[in-house]
Structure 1
């Protein structure tokens, strides 16, 4: 029998490795920026075109590479970070596996320019699909410049799996944020299609957060600082009142490396227990410093997951540190048994000095003098108001007694009644109506039909109703709007404002009226009739999240996505009790829709059960 196992060619092995390292353009951004940081760069520039599909260009002023190192860097498992297996447990750098550049070069056109400080000229290498096209001497500044062009040019199937430019750009910005937040001492610049997106100068950690997420973020931050033998914690958490519906602003850094950990995230949520609204998530930007020997980084291809030796201790310390900071800065209520709250100075008297009491004495007062006997003459300072009771019988003069049979007694009677609150539907002839619908567990609506019964999911059904309503308003451009008494000002990050600017036209068709969109905020003076003012910020946050994360293929329009997002935010929630008329109205409106069977996300809105099926349940 012939042998069937054989070694793969290098170019095939590189393409397979590229599948682990390079999933999308954001993966290239991460690897190249981390290499620049390991090279000791103080300034890093990231230039992208078409969300990284056409170009990802990283320029740094690090120490650069020699001619031999530049050529060897594109070989598999070639690295300057480790020498032996023991070094894997003493990692102080970002990359160490030596597969990044080799994997990137296997699926793209790569141009590398590099020069060391003591050399007069540098090296330029061009590679296409793992094949070195040219290597020559050039004049270039100190540092390294790597341009990755036409990603997945030789693997069309992989390129077709890439999402839209909006989604891919969001992933690139996420990776940019993670690297920039971990290294506030390094200056970063991001250019997208020729426009300057981020310009982050070297600063402290708080200022770096504010530069990325907007000036309004400064007032949201609560510092966290704890130093123990096992763990050092530093950074910030967001105040509970600024918690968001999405998990966008949650960052853990372990030894200056971004990680994802559901276990540690639960520790933060536990520290905020009782302070957050239902369905919201806290923001945090926390740096954890631990001994490198107590963690294992090389358990995931993207190195975003880390295995800790003692997770339970880290959990307890992290939870306690956050809880302590919230209490220390009066964010969370605390019990202090050594302080008597009754002795606190009222706020209005805080800066006022103590006034010396004045005593006035009537020196002419003589109790034995005629006319001053008894209680004596009242002084002007202490006058007592008394009611004369000597002529008590005069109090009833003018009142006439009337008999019980007088026709004027209680001729008209008025009763105070509670003001009836208006309902969404008219309650006329309520007793004459027969209830045809019933609500179960504040989630499902059961209605009798000719063949049996119908069970409807109230949340999904209302989503379908609102979706078609919003879609119709945006299509025929007749969305009704209600003016706000006071303008509503909402604050967003720069990249979120770019998305709102793109969706402004469609939002206006639904009924939103914008008076101003500045660099850090949005001012709204009108909202759709069906949208409460308190829900506006939630709707826009959800919309931005949907656009960034859930944009399907290009054949789905932004109008369709906007209608889906608004319908999801405004639909009746599970757990909301509905009146009888509201239940019936919901059923009637659902079956007036064009496609009542499914929700906007293609899930069933109702099911039916015939009488025969019910009979079989009792057999």
Structure 2
């Protein structure tokens, strides 16, 4: 029998490797940007077309490559970083495996132009499906330009799995931001479809954070700086008031490499404990520098997951550094004023306050009123005080009239108190009787034969709101406890789902449209959601780079809250971003339902409670929210009687 095991051809092996390294255009962006950084570039430009599906090009002014190196760079495991096994444990560069260019060349059409400063001409290489199509000398600027065109052109199945352009662009922006934050001393730019998205001048880390995440963070960052023999920690955390409901603006870098670590994230969260709500996430951009031998970065194809030799020490240092930073710097809101030069010219500042002027000031009525009667703690004495006999209550005496008066007062007081109690008790008993009668005669909550769910509420049913959160409603078999927020979520979810399927929600056009300025990543996200939001009553139009105009909103969004409503939708939508089982539209509908639902501690009128409950039981599935939480709990008579052992 013939042998059946054989080596894979190189082109197939390369495509399998590409599946690990290049999963989407953003993967190629990450690898190419890191290569440019390793080349010593001070200026790096990223050019995108069609969200990276048509073109991903990185141009740098680094040291470039010789003709031989340019050809060798596309071979598998060809690297300039590793010479022996010890080098693998002392890695300080970004790329080192030598798989990136080989993987890109296996699934795209690649054009490389590179030139060293000492060479007269550069080298141009064109590769397609791991095969060199052309190699020739070319005039080129110092550095390297590499263009990846038509990603997955030879693997149609992989191309079909790519998301929409807006979704893929969001991933590209994320990768770009991570590399740009790692190296604030390098100029970065990102151009997509001919429009510049980022133009990041070289500067300090704080300047880069503000450039990337937004100007509003400028005065809301706290410096973290701790140096130890084992590791150094530096960077910034946001003040507690910058915490968001999503964990978007959180970045950890180990030896300048972006990493994901739930363990270290927990260290930062514990440092913020009791400063922010339990469901909020603080902003942080933190760098950890330590000996490369203490960390293994070669545990995942994307190198975003790493292992520390001693995780507990790193955890303790991170937690202590953040706690120290928050304690050392003022984290309370502050106002900064610029000193007006005109103030310096006033007489009160320029002229001396002599003794004559001091005496004149003291004798003025304004001074006396302010220093005596005007004081907050000053009490004007009076002879008509009602407290002059207060000691009689604590000292035994022979004055029988006083004792009698006190006893009479106490009796009257106790009688009044008892009378009040009796009145309250009588009212409470009559309330119970009403509930009992309503429970006996109400047909509004008749049970379904199949679901055993109430359908409607009697218009005369007596509803109560409990602690501003629950609605108590009587039924023929007991009573119901309805959670007003969760019930409203179910109602809105079904309304929005119907709108998304064709029954558009009417929009109310704004008399004065509102302009909304977003960060680049949020702008890409909103661009992706615009069509769906239009169906749901939000009229939003692009207005330049990272800006939008809100022309209209649903009628239930009050004027002046349009901007906050859109920002809340984006934050809540990002909360679902890691949950792959939901479609984009489903995430948006759930986000809107949560955002617009009545929140706890909102007082409702009887008509509002009745309307909410009626709408709930008109829903196709009234008993649970879209997320699976119960909207109400039913307490039946039999169960209640068991509780009281009746």
Q: TM-score range by the shorter chain?
A: 0.7 to 0.9
The question of 1:120 aligning with 2:125 is answered: no
Matched with 1:238 is 238
Q: How far off is 1:526 after superposition?
A: 8.5
CA distance in 2, matches of 1:231, 1:450: 68
Q: Deviations over 1:238-266 (max 9, x none)?
A: 11111111111101111111111111101
CA distance in 2, matches of 1:292, 1:549: 31
The question of 1:433 aligning with 2:438 is answered: yes
Q: Deviations over 1:94-129 (max 9, x none)?
A: 111111111111111111111111111111111111
Matched with 1:539 is 568
Choose from 483, 491, 506 the match for 1:465: 491
Cα pair 1:225 1:235 within 8 Å, conserved: yes
Q: How far off is 1:520 after superposition?
A: 7.7
Change over 3 Å in CA distance of 1:457–1:161 after alignment to 2: farther
The question of 1:496 aligning with 2:522 is answered: yes
Matched with 2:288 is 288
Cα pair 1:538 1:569 within 8 Å, conserved: no
Q: What SS is found at the alignment partner of 1:232?
A: strand
Choose from 562, 583, 588 the match for 2:614: 588
CA distance in 1, matches of 2:537, 2:554: 4
Q: What SS is found at the alignment partner of 2:148?
A: strand
Cα pair 2:167 2:528 within 8 Å, conserved: no
Q: How far off is 1:234 after superposition?
A: 1.1
- Comparing 534-543 and 20-29, the one that deviates more: 534-543
Matched with 1:421 is none
Change over 3 Å in CA distance of 1:179–1:388 after alignment to 2: closer
Cα pair 1:163 1:552 within 8 Å, conserved: no
Change over 3 Å in CA distance of 1:279–1:116 after alignment to 2: same
Q: What SS is found at the alignment partner of 1:433?
A: helix
The question of 1:155 aligning with 2:160 is answered: no
Cα pair 1:454 1:606 within 8 Å, conserved: no
Q: Deviations over 1:506-529 (max 9, x none)?
A: 757766699997878889899756
Change over 3 Å in CA distance of 1:54–1:461 after alignment to 2: farther
Matched with 1:100 is 100
- Comparing 492-501 and 139-148, the one that deviates more: 492-501
CA distance in 1, matches of 2:223, 2:526: 31
Q: Deviations over 1:407-452 (max 9, x none)?
A: xxxxxxxxxxxxxxxxxxxxxx878533868999999999999999
CA distance in 2, matches of 1:524, 1:14: 48
Q: Deviations over 1:182-213 (max 9, x none)?
A: 00111111011111100111111111111112
Q: Deviations over 1:17-38 (max 9, x none)?
A: 1111111111000001101111
Cα pair 2:435 2:474 within 8 Å, conserved: no
Q: Deviations over 1:308-331 (max 9, x none)?
A: 112111111211111111122222
Matched with 1:567 is 593
- Comparing 224-233 and 501-510, the one that deviates more: 501-510
CA distance in 1, matches of 2:137, 2:479: 81
CA distance in 2, matches of 1:442, 1:86: 65
Cα pair 1:79 1:98 within 8 Å, conserved: yes
Q: What SS is found at the alignment partner of 2:330?
A: coil
Cα pair 2:504 2:536 within 8 Å, conserved: no
Change over 3 Å in CA distance of 1:50–1:520 after alignment to 2: closer
Change over 3 Å in CA distance of 1:297–1:550 after alignment to 2: closer
Change over 3 Å in CA distance of 1:597–1:34 after alignment to 2: same
Matched with 1:412 is none
Cα pair 2:113 2:144 within 8 Å, conserved: yes
Change over 3 Å in CA distance of 1:490–1:106 after alignment to 2: closer
Matched with 1:212 is 212
CA distance in 2, matches of 1:250, 1:494: 16
Q: How far off is 1:165 after superposition?
A: 1.1
Matched with 2:302 is 302
Matched with 1:198 is 198
Cα pair 1:215 1:520 within 8 Å, conserved: no
Q: How far off is 1:586 after superposition?
A: 4.7
Change over 3 Å in CA distance of 1:508–1:97 after alignment to 2: closer
Change over 3 Å in CA distance of 1:204–1:563 after alignment to 2: same
CA distance in 2, matches of 1:579, 1:175: 50
Matched with 1:132 is 132
Q: Deviations over 1:116-146 (max 9, x none)?
A: 1111111111111111111111111111111
Q: How far off is 1:497 after superposition?
A: 3.8
Change over 3 Å in CA distance of 1:473–1:299 after alignment to 2: closer
Choose from 494, 499, 506 the match for 1:478: 506
The question of 1:269 aligning with 2:269 is answered: yes
Change over 3 Å in CA distance of 1:324–1:262 after alignment to 2: same
Matched with 1:67 is 67
CA distance in 2, matches of 1:382, 1:566: 58
CA distance in 2, matches of 1:141, 1:386: 90
Matched with 1:225 is 225
CA distance in 1, matches of 2:592, 2:300: 37
TM-score relative to the length of structure 1: 0.73
CA distance in 2, matches of 1:12, 1:387: 101
Task: Give the total of aligned pairs.
Answer: 533
CA distance in 1, matches of 2:548, 2:308: 43
Matched with 1:110 is 110
Q: What SS is found at the alignment partner of 2:229?
A: coil
Pairwise CA RMSD = 4.8
Runs (5+) with no aligned partner, structure 1: 334-350, 362-380, 390-428, 615-619
Runs (5+) with no aligned partner, structure 2: 334-348, 363-370, 374-378, 385-433, 446-453, 455-463, 640-646
Q: Deviations over 1:491-517 (max 9, x none)?
A: 631342455467668757766699997
Cα pair 2:506 2:555 within 8 Å, conserved: no
Cα pair 1:213 1:492 within 8 Å, conserved: no
Cα pair 1:231 1:288 within 8 Å, conserved: yes
Cα pair 1:21 1:100 within 8 Å, conserved: yes
Q: What SS is found at the alignment partner of 2:219?
A: helix
Matched with 1:365 is none
Q: Deviations over 1:18-66 (max 9, x none)?
A: 1111111110000011011111111111111111111111111111111
CA distance in 2, matches of 1:132, 1:513: 50
Change over 3 Å in CA distance of 1:80–1:40 after alignment to 2: same
